[in-house]
Copies of this chain bind each other. A is one copy, B any other.
């Protein structure tokens, strides 16, 4: 080896200067976090002692009280609730049966913001559409008095990207059907399982569009209805859905902090959402999100004082319209956030990370890559910016880090009665805590300034 090559090799081995200036040992914290029990403890506690916690209900209020008590007990600082008000829709009765030609019950659940049938139900003929595009192509008025049925079969993807495409049937389908005169709308659940558990989720009726009764059939039921329709006889369904809008109610964000040593270095914002849909106990959506981020912040707190303040937010009212994220975004628009990250995609292993960091903090991304690799996490090439609740903050040009959980199984459980504690794998949860702890150790303690970025969206 020539002397020049030898020197180059030595230079390559040397740690870059900013890394040497980090106080926290990310690798050591990472490895210790693989033994974490706190995230599971939080998940178990919240799902057991509160259970389902629909936004704006007394159950969500109990969840906030539980959160405040837990975060104080863990030693976080500045634990507080920031209340806000939001419209609350609640489920009523929900039953359906094929009346003709083959009488049988169907399992379904009303979509959030669904209109109601008469208390005694309604009976109408079903018109089948294989996709949302086919519904969109139906002539205006052609659905008058009918039940539109869109049975678009979702396929899972590791990065969850298929939710945007397939989820449109739920988000927009009922309003499209209403505009065309439909009396009601049924969709195949936006999900990938084969259980008799329908997937809840919100739909939207823009101003001036009549909110018709709208519900999701479980996937076995949607396929059953397709088979019945394929026999060729007119299919009539009796549908009873009695949800209602109950007006404006109180929700709130629960906030806790690990104060940093350098107030001027800004705030690293992390969290998940405290509310859940009402059918399950919201274990993977999103008790694990608040649990993972809180457990990671607690590990940093116990290891010393990071340079930057870590702010953990358990957002309220995410599922029904990101009311908590928007309230936070308005209340804290001028806070000195320097980075944001959210955990709201279940409890499966993190497989990839992505960043949106300014050029001056490029080395932070490199240190993340090196420290996360042993957890099986590779670096993606897209610009980070995930997270509904931290979205309003990221939209202001705050740097973003995405720790992407695998979505291959997520839509087996998403918004169903089956989202319960038994679905949480403690080993995978620990991998998540280790990744978040690593990320916080590097980002909150980075000696570099972390300035503004162009947001991903």
State A52–B220 Cα separation when bound (angstroms).
Answer: 14
A26 close to B (CB within 8 Å): no
**When A195-B197, A280-B196, A418-B196 are in contact, do A102 and B49 touch as well, CB less than 8 Å?**
yes
Question: Do B197 and A49 touch across chains, with their CB atoms under 8 A apart?
Answer: no
Write the nearest CB–CB distance from A171 to chain B, whole angstroms: 25
Interface residues in A249-286 (C-beta closer than 8 Å to B): 280-281
In the A-B complex, list the 9 residue pairs whose CB atoms are closest, starting with the nearest: A51-B104, A196-B417, A220-B420, A48-B227, A194-B422, A49-B102, A196-B418, A195-B195, A220-B422
Question: Do A195 and B59 touch across chains, with their CB atoms under 8 A apart?
Answer: no
19 contacts between A and B (CB under 8 A): A47-B224, A48-B102, A48-B224, A48-B231, A50-B102, A51-B103, A51-B104, A104-B281, A107-B417, A196-B197, A196-B280, A196-B420, A220-B420, A220-B421, A220-B422, A223-B421, A223-B422, A224-B420, A227-B421
Interface residues in A363-384 (C-beta closer than 8 Å to B): none
Q: Report the nearest B residue to A417, measured CB to CB.
A: B196
Interface digits, A132-169 against B, CB 8 Å rule (1 contact, 0 not)? 00000000000000000000000000000000000000
Interface residues in A428-454 (C-beta closer than 8 Å to B): none
A423 close to B (CB within 8 Å): yes
Residues of B within 8 A of A280 (CB): 196
User: What residues make up the interface of A, taking CB atoms closer than 8 Å to B?
Assistant: 44, 47-52, 59, 98, 101-105, 107, 194-197, 219-220, 223-224, 227-228, 231, 280-281, 416-418, 420-423
Question: Do A421 and B59 touch across chains, with their CB atoms under 8 A apart?
Answer: no
State A418–B412 Cα separation when bound (angstroms).
Answer: 14
Q: Report the nearest B residue to A278, measured CB to CB.
A: B105
Question: Do A231 and B420 touch across chains, with their CB atoms under 8 A apart?
Answer: no
Residues of B within 8 A of A59 (CB): 103-104
Write the nearest CB–CB distance from A236 to chain B, whole angstroms: 15
Residues of B within 8 A of A223 (CB): 421-422
Name, among A219, A227, A231, the residue most crowded by chain B CB atoms within 10 Å (CB to CB).
Answer: A227
Question: Do A421 and B224 touch across chains, with their CB atoms under 8 A apart?
Answer: yes
Question: Do B224 and A102 touch across chains, with their CB atoms under 8 A apart?
Answer: no
State A423–B223 Cα separation when bound (angstroms).
Answer: 12
Question: Do B102 and A220 touch across chains, with their CB atoms under 8 A apart?
Answer: no
Residues of B within 8 A of A107 (CB): 417
Q: Report the nearest B residue to A228, measured CB to CB.
A: B48
Residues of B within 8 A of A98 (CB): 51
Question: Do A195 and B418 touch across chains, with their CB atoms under 8 A apart?
Answer: yes
State A138–B430 Cα separation when bound (angstroms).
Answer: 41
Write the nearest CB–CB distance from A340 to chain B, whole angstroms: 32
State A44–B50 Cα separation when bound (angstroms).
Answer: 42
State which of B104, B194, B421 has its C-beta within 8 Å of the C-beta of A423: B194
Write the nearest CB–CB distance from A346 to chain B, whole angstroms: 16
Question: Do A52 and B422 touch across chains, with their CB atoms under 8 A apart?
Answer: no
Residues of B within 8 A of A416 (CB): 196
State A194–B47 Cα separation when bound (angstroms).
Answer: 16
Question: Do B224 and A52 touch across chains, with their CB atoms under 8 A apart?
Answer: no
State A196–B277 Cα separation when bound (angstroms).
Answer: 15
Question: Do A102 and B196 touch across chains, with their CB atoms under 8 A apart?
Answer: no
Write the nearest CB–CB distance from A69 to chain B, whole angstroms: 14
Question: Do A224 and B281 touch across chains, with their CB atoms under 8 A apart?
Answer: yes
Q: Report the nearest B residue to A423, measured CB to CB.
A: B194
State A227–B105 Cα separation when bound (angstroms).
Answer: 33
Write the nearest CB–CB distance from A128 to chain B, whole angstroms: 15
